[in-house]
Structure 1
Amino acid sequence: MRLRRRGLASINSEVRDGILPAADGIARVPADPRAEGHTPRSYRVTALIIACALFMEQMDATILSTALPTMARDFGVPATNMSAALTSYLLALAIFIPASGRLADRFGSRTVFRAAILIFVAGSALCGIATSLPLMMGARFVQGLGGAMMIPIGRLVLLRSVAKEDMVSAMSWLIMPALIGPILGPPVGGAIVTYLDWRWIFYLNLPIGLLGIVLVTRYIEDVRADGPVRFDAWGFVLSGIALGCLLFGFEMTSRTGELPAALLLIAIGALAGWAYLRHARRRPDPILDLTLMAIPTFRLSLIAGSLTRITQGAQPFLLPMMLQLGFGMTAAASGLITIAGAIGSLMMKGLAPRILRKWGFRRSLIVGGLGGSAGYAVCGLFRPDWPIALIFAILMISGFFMSFQFSAYNTIAYDEVPSSRMSAATSFYATFQQLMLSLGICVGAAALHVGMLGSGHARPSLADFTLAFMVVTLVSAAATIWNRRFAADAGAELSGHR
């Protein structure tokens, strides 16, 4: 797919730059041809602007996790039911992300990116005035609609603007400012909940979003497809029904008395998923292009990254709740402890290019996966008599390993994807990324609920949290099976490893 504002190039140049498949039939990724004129400073400016949107989304998520017990009390529902507020947001991401690439190609990346921020800000305002859990779920869904277009399109802009040898560095620049959100989120959220009102959590997004709209308007190019873009409407409907029913079905399994309805939703979701698979095989341009799974590095990154993200999705839900309900901490105190993971993530970003250059993707992902899983397993053993410094250190190390894995997965996933399929690949990958984060919340909540049923507790105990952490840790540890299947030289051109 060619882009506007680009001059005609020879076929030989297309092959050389990786835009068209090479003669051996293997698609190599790319830097977009427009990247040839981009200096390091220009791609860093683009990355920092996109990171503003990521900062807003990440800060909102981490603040909300700290506030869940207080919001549950105000809404008059059990604390475990508040997982629905997280799931409804991630559900919107999973449903609408597949359409994000097509929308950007048709209407322009700047136009859609700017509209996405505006929708996210509107959803934040609705969250701030919500008076019940159902209203909060609806408002979070609106937020998710904006988030579904913000991050994939931002990543697509960056992928089309960066030379291949600068990709690891560009991803680090994109993620590093966004990590400020998770660092500020827990203490800011704890302070807001303890000393103000949790509704200010959402009102904070308004000035940040308005600033993002101004920066996008000024600095982001309005890149779009040069030819007509077909939209797979039937595929969008089927995939939305499948993802929506499966997510809410799994989430409802953690609620008392709703198992029959949960099983019905799961069955409907599975049937819609089967119908989508049949539809996708017959259509040349399905909204979720399953033929991308034939690309080795994309397939392995998607599977291993999905398993890892289940744990990462559960941890922000389980940890603040354990510290507040199990340890008796205030929201402010628990927020100060949970920033440790974000600090560990921030420490890792400067080291990621050097680690990958020395050890390569395969070895680094194996070690990082085992280290991160072990760290989160220890989280389940935390007890009130543990030294706070020790808890903080363990969370920081866990954050270091987990964040390194996501940086590596997000980079190597596109190593063999041709430029013409980059839009489809970013939408496909981001859909499963958010789906697994949602599933992580569901798995964590379900494991916690099973523990409560087994112990006969109406309120989760520390042993129940231990069970939940062990369950999600086993899932992320299973990613090692697929990490070992990467070729020893996978992503060598990206990392510089020889």
Structure 2
Amino acid sequence: MRASQIVPLVVATALFMENTDSTVIATALPTIAQSLGEDPIALKLALTAYLVSLAIFIPISGWMADRYGSRTVFRAAIAVFMAGSVACAVSNGLAGFVAARFLQGLGGAMMVPVGRLVILRSVPKAELVSALAYLTIPALIGPIMGPPLGGLITTYLDWRWIFFINIPIGIVGIVLATLYFEDVREPERPPLDLVGFAMLGPGLAALMLGLASTGRHLLPGWMTWASLGGGAVLLALYFGHSRRMAHPILRLDLMRHPTFRIAVIGGSLFRIGTGAIPFLLPLMLQVGFGLDPLQSGLITFSAAAGAMFVKTVGPRILRRYGFRPVMVCNAVFAAFFLAVNGLYTASTPHGLMLGILFLGGCLRSLQFTCVNAIAYADLEKAEMSAGTSLASVAQQISLSLGVTLGALTLEGAAAWHGRSAIAAADFGPAFLAVALISAASVFPFRQLAQDAGAEVSGRMIARTAPTAAPGRQ
């Protein structure tokens, strides 16, 4: 296998572990709460702690890779994530469990951005689309496999095994990274912007905490608004600080590259809808329609099958049509299939759901491949690590926004009908709301140049290839 295949698969190991872990815990929260003697709502602080840790440490992942080497940091990140998993499994109280989830977030913040950076530095641009296609699959499989896997483990084993299963996966990732990763680092490294980190880290943390608690009642209302307001002020201060610094911790100046700017803005809008799917879909099937977690997971897993299918045909689609037409049209179709999920009822045939989810998985996977590839099409090699950090922070915020907006719409629909508890009828407006936001990504994607990312998509190579002589075709 070539580097464009091996390296993404190694990174996908870490991405699969992270995404699966973050979703199986949602299914197991009531059981964990009972074991720890806590209310299930209190256990949602563990989810918030993980998001806060990601928000704080993702911005320094690129600098860490440049300073200590991408292979070294990637392996250390997996080890930290494994340590956090063990700490979660042996926790006997809420405080210890929340602290362990924070530790997991530290490992997760370094794993995926640094892994993506390894791909960008080791794979030729002409093979980047194929390489990133491998990376998008675990991002879809993990959240879909999580609910049924969590239900199986908590029902037939013990909830602590949810975290122990990360250990063999992590060991495999460390071994493969040792064998196939180059320990790439930048020879010239700017000093770490500690002042910027002191603004950006707490600012993102406060903003993420406020977003996570909105609609979930994790905090009193005044604390939620204080978190949102304080986070916004700190981020505004960082914006002014970054413009005065030669080497800020998060390089907002990279938004001057049209392809990067459009990928970040358009990709964030599109991911809002995607971020809501792992939250809304299992909840609708289980709470709204009365299915058990295993039945729910066997239905939603079809979207992962669609993602696998697109892995083989996505690069060919891009070579034929280019980024701009594919991303504009695909955003509309993907948003449509997202909204259709809200039309299901308890009597909808499961076969029909499977088919719609399969097609939706195809469309979302293709869009992820496009966004991830076009973002780095015009960045210089020295800008790759900074670009990875900025894109990863934007992705985390947009995914959290998807869950928040989905939850708010659910609660709003229930209140409109005079109910305090959500029902099946409330999911239609929620899916429609996040689908409309995803569809809005069409507007930034339309700003792409017609030949944007031609080298990355392979169209440039196809156009310049010599025509076969007569008689040799």
Could you say whether these structures have the same fold, taking a TM-score greater than 0.5 normalized by the shorter chain as the test?
yes
Look up the match of 1:95. Answer: 56
Between the aligned partners of 1:142 and 1:158, the Cα distance in structure 2 is 25
Distance of aligned partners of 1:209 and 1:310 in 2 relative to their CA distance in 1, 3 Å threshold: same
Q: Check the 8 A contact 1:238/1:275 in 2, yes or no.
A: yes
Query: How far apart are 1:493 and its partner, in Å?
Result: 1.3
Superimposed CA distance per residue, residues 82-127 of structure 1 (whole angstroms, 9 cap, x where no aligned partner): 6654443233222211100100111111111111001111111222
SS at match of 1:285: coil
Look up the match of 1:353. Answer: 315
Deviates more, 1:186-195 or 1:266-275: 186-195
Superimposed CA distance per residue, residues 364-400 of structure 1 (whole angstroms, 9 cap, x where no aligned partner): 1112111111111111222111101111111111111
Look up the match of 1:404. Answer: 366
Distance of aligned partners of 1:177 and 1:260 in 2 relative to their CA distance in 1, 3 Å threshold: closer
Superimposed CA distance per residue, residues 56-82 of structure 1 (whole angstroms, 9 cap, x where no aligned partner): 112223433444565567665466x76
SS at match of 1:385: coil
Distance of aligned partners of 1:372 and 1:460 in 2 relative to their CA distance in 1, 3 Å threshold: same
Look up the match of 2:74. Answer: 113
Distance of aligned partners of 1:237 and 1:127 in 2 relative to their CA distance in 1, 3 Å threshold: same
SS at match of 1:351: helix
Distance of aligned partners of 1:362 and 1:132 in 2 relative to their CA distance in 1, 3 Å threshold: farther
Instruction: Map residues 15-414 of structure 1 onto 2, 5 A cutoff.
Output: 41-68=2-29, 71=32, 77=39, 84-130=45-91, 135-176=96-137, 181-182=142-143, 184-256=145-217, 258-414=220-376
Between the aligned partners of 1:145 and 1:52, the Cα distance in structure 2 is 17
Distance of aligned partners of 1:73 and 1:313 in 2 relative to their CA distance in 1, 3 Å threshold: farther
Gaps of at least 5 residues in structure 2 are 464-473
Between the aligned partners of 2:187 and 2:384, the Cα distance in structure 1 is 15
Q: Check the 8 A contact 2:143/2:278 in 1, yes or no.
A: no
Between the aligned partners of 1:323 and 1:410, the Cα distance in structure 2 is 31
Look up the match of 2:379. Answer: 417
Aligned residue pairs, count: 458
Between the aligned partners of 2:81 and 2:155, the Cα distance in structure 1 is 25
Deviates more, 1:345-354 or 1:451-460: 451-460
Between the aligned partners of 1:198 and 1:367, the Cα distance in structure 2 is 43
Query: How far apart are 1:139 and its partner, in Å?
Result: 2.5
Superimposed CA distance per residue, residues 323-379 of structure 1 (whole angstroms, 9 cap, x where no aligned partner): 111111111111111212111111111111011111111111112111111111111
Equivalent AA in structure 2 for residue 462 of structure 1 = A
Deviates more, 1:192-201 or 1:173-182: 173-182
The TM-score normalised by the length of structure 2 is 0.91
1:478 correspondence with 2:440: yes
Look up the match of 1:9. Answer: none
Q: Check the 8 A contact 2:13/2:173 in 1, yes or no.
A: yes
Between the aligned partners of 1:85 and 1:392, the Cα distance in structure 2 is 32
Between the aligned partners of 2:105 and 2:265, the Cα distance in structure 1 is 23
The Cα RMSD (Å) is 2.2
Between the aligned partners of 1:370 and 1:394, the Cα distance in structure 2 is 15
Between the aligned partners of 1:371 and 1:87, the Cα distance in structure 2 is 32
Deviates more, 1:169-178 or 1:440-449: 169-178
Between the aligned partners of 2:250 and 2:44, the Cα distance in structure 1 is 27
The TM-score normalised by the length of structure 1 is 0.86
Q: Check the 8 A contact 2:190/2:247 in 1, yes or no.
A: no
Distance of aligned partners of 1:51 and 1:457 in 2 relative to their CA distance in 1, 3 Å threshold: same
Equivalent AA in structure 1 for residue 385 of structure 2 = S
Distance of aligned partners of 1:488 and 1:101 in 2 relative to their CA distance in 1, 3 Å threshold: same
Superimposed CA distance per residue, residues 303-327 of structure 1 (whole angstroms, 9 cap, x where no aligned partner): 0100111111111011112211111
Gaps of at least 5 residues in structure 1 are 1-39
Query: How far apart are 1:194 and its partner, in Å?
Result: 3.1
Deviates more, 1:466-475 or 1:68-77: 68-77
